[in-house]
Structure 1
Amino acid sequence: MLRRNRRITAVPPDRREGLVRLCALDPVEGVSLAHQLTRWERWGRGDVVVTGTLDAPTAGAWATGSLMVYGLAPRPGLGHAGADPQDVRALAEHARGRMVRRGAVSGPRRDVEAVWGPLSEAGLTAREVRWNQPLLLAPRTAEGLLAAQLRRRPHLGWVGAGTRAAVPAEDALVQPAAAAMFREEVGYDPACSGRAFARHISWLVGSGRGYVLLDDGQGGPAAPGGPAAVAFKADVGSLWRSPSGAVAQLTGVWTRPDLRGRGIGTVALAAVVDAVRADHVGPDGVVSLYANDFNAPALGLYRSLGFTRHGTFATILL
């Protein structure tokens, strides 16, 4: 298909710099795609494609079962004209043959809207469409987020002290919590798609990017050698040191259902944001996440911590 379709170009791993520069137009919106590009040292022909040229792409995508897009829509305030409509159709044609059942189309909303039109015209159908996923930024404070939360909830000091990066020996505890989060968020068991999800969670834990709070299974601190369960978890799903500074995007934020409404998730997330700054992006780095607009409890939690809106993501579940 790539040989017939001259409007898109496959990106070899040693020519990714142009697409990385495109993502740097808005590092918060571009972090997911930039993370993919910088994480992988090799990929198959056609897994990453651009419109325009390799050195000056007008848009780009990661197309491997799912489709992650960036740059298709104009961004006048950033001096970006977007991709030509024929180029968008060419990208959709390329991606259509690679999409799989239970895949997704994701990215900034305006880019997903641009490509979904030709994809749906080509017969692709959605299981669920999530057009309004607020993209939020954690605030920067001199003292950090945790200290302020513990002044309000001193009885949850054990939560702040216990929230930390998981270690590989805890992978067996983390995996069921991660799967439960996925089932709630996406609507099916990730094990249905093989071992890819479990491998990804193990990679996050092994990379120091999976954060957890363990409790005794009853909402109290876990004692050494006693029973332990995951009370809260969050991952650094994307991480990129962009030209303008480091950006982390949190994913998989989850509080065990029996503990919700007690402030535990709020304190634990504050601890995670502080830890991600200390461990990964530095005090001036950006910590972001996106959420579904219908998840009112989560959005309320983020507002209570002072998160502010940066933009809008969209996800189309296939």
Structure 2
Amino acid sequence: MLTHSTARVLEPGDLDAALAVLHSDPVANAFVTSRVNVAGLDPWRLGGEMWGFYAAGKLTSLCYAGANLVPICATPEAVAAFAERARRSGRRCSSIVGPADATAELWSRLEPHWGPAREIRRHQPLMTTRALPADIAPDPRVRRVRKDEMEVIMPACVAMFTEEVGVSPLAGDGGLLYQARVAELVSTGRAFARIEDGEVVFKAEIGAVTRHTCQIQGVWVAPSHRGRRLSESGMAAVLHYALRDVAPVVSLYVNDFNTAARAAYRRVGFTEVGAFMSVLF
């Protein structure tokens, strides 16, 4: 047993201890927990390494190091250890994202070596709800996207991603990985849209899923339909599916500068429970 503070790459035998850390904050850790539930700690299946920080022999903090670098329940000592490992490994991620305080500290240590970032979003409110809104009716035209509607939904997904992240998901591999992810969400019944005359008017997906919570992502309204409060009735519809079929708590996080989206989420019952930070490369 380790008796001092140290960090190492976790192995499949560490799964129970890692899940105990993840379950200590099920909402903030939903993204990584959902991946671990499916893939375990095998780096090939997980899509990256899971680093663990031990204090006095006990696993206390994690860091997922894949396409994203994600600090999890990371103490200041753990952040220092994860930053040193990341510095030695070199940047292989497209973003650093996680709880705001730990992510800010992690970035402050990595910026001299990895900077500059393309964009930094220092405050992204993390919001949750457990109930449907009492005064906003779900849009009856929002439904699950069918498998034969990939060609309909993909342009809206690409537009949302480009608008949100600032780069196209079609860059690099031509969009193969992104299309595969969208297809996975569609095939598992976690992609929702209102489609009129072959055009996506509103869309959203349920991304991360655990037994405790699920996380809504990719909320988008076609520019020509904005200003009609379709995001509110659309989100109410997605919440209906999520709370009935998926998990007892629904979460999302949003950019603090997106005041319209934050107001819409509050109107459908979401409340702020924390904050994320993202560093985009």
> Scaled by the length of structure 1, what TM-score is found?
0.79
The correspondence of residues 242-253 of structure 1 with structure 2, limited to 5 A, is 246-253=212-219
The correspondence of residues 50-69 of structure 1 with structure 2, limited to 5 A, is 50-52=52-54, 56-69=58-71
Q: Compute the displacement of 1:184 (Å).
A: 0.5
- Select the residue among 171, 179, 184 that pairs with 1:192: 171
The correspondence of residues 17-36 of structure 1 with structure 2, limited to 5 A, is 17-36=16-35
- Cα distance between partner residues in 2 of 1:253 and 1:65: 21
**SS of aligned partner of 2:264:** helix
2:220 corresponds in structure 1 to 254
1:268 corresponds in structure 2 to 234
Q: Is the 8 A contact 1:19 1:56 kept in 2?
A: no
- Select the residue among 133, 144, 167 that pairs with 1:165: 144
2:119 corresponds in structure 1 to 128
Sort the Cα spacing of 1:65 and 1:160 in 2 relative to 1 into closer, same or farther, 3 A: closer
- Give CA-to-partner distance per residue, 1:47-86, whole Å, 9 cap, x none: 1111117x832211111242011111xxxxxxxxx252xx
Sort the Cα spacing of 1:186 and 1:169 in 2 relative to 1 into closer, same or farther, 3 A: same
2:203 corresponds in structure 1 to 233
Where structure 2 has 5 or more consecutive residues not aligned to the other structure, the ranges are none
Q: Compute the displacement of 1:95 (Å).
A: 2.5
Q: Compute the displacement of 1:99 (Å).
A: 2.5
**SS of aligned partner of 1:309:** strand
The correspondence of residues 64-213 of structure 1 with structure 2, limited to 5 A, is 64-72=66-74, 82-84=75-77, 87-96=78-87, 97-100=89-92, 103-140=94-131, 144-145=132-133, 148-150=135-137, 160-194=139-173, 195-213=176-194
Bigger CA drift: 14-23 or 199-208? 14-23
Q: Which amino acid aligns with 1:11?
A: L
- Cα distance between partner residues in 1 of 2:60 and 2:68: 20
> Scaled by the length of structure 2, what TM-score is found?
0.89
Larger Rg: 1
Q: Is the 8 A contact 1:66 1:99 kept in 2?
A: no
- Cα distance between partner residues in 2 of 1:123 and 1:231: 39
2:252 corresponds in structure 1 to 289
Q: Is the 8 A contact 1:63 1:98 kept in 2?
A: no
Q: Aligned residues: percent identity? A: 29
- Cα distance between partner residues in 2 of 1:65 and 1:93: 18
- Cα distance between partner residues in 2 of 1:277 and 1:59: 30
> Please, what is the CA RMSD of the aligned residues?
2.2
Q: Which amino acid aligns with 2:152?
A: L
- Cα distance between partner residues in 2 of 1:136 and 1:95: 29
- Cα distance between partner residues in 1 of 2:19 and 2:102: 16
Q: Which amino acid aligns with 2:70?
A: M
Q: Is the 8 A contact 1:49 1:62 kept in 2?
A: yes
Q: Which amino acid aligns with 1:199?
A: A
Q: Which amino acid aligns with 1:254?
A: W
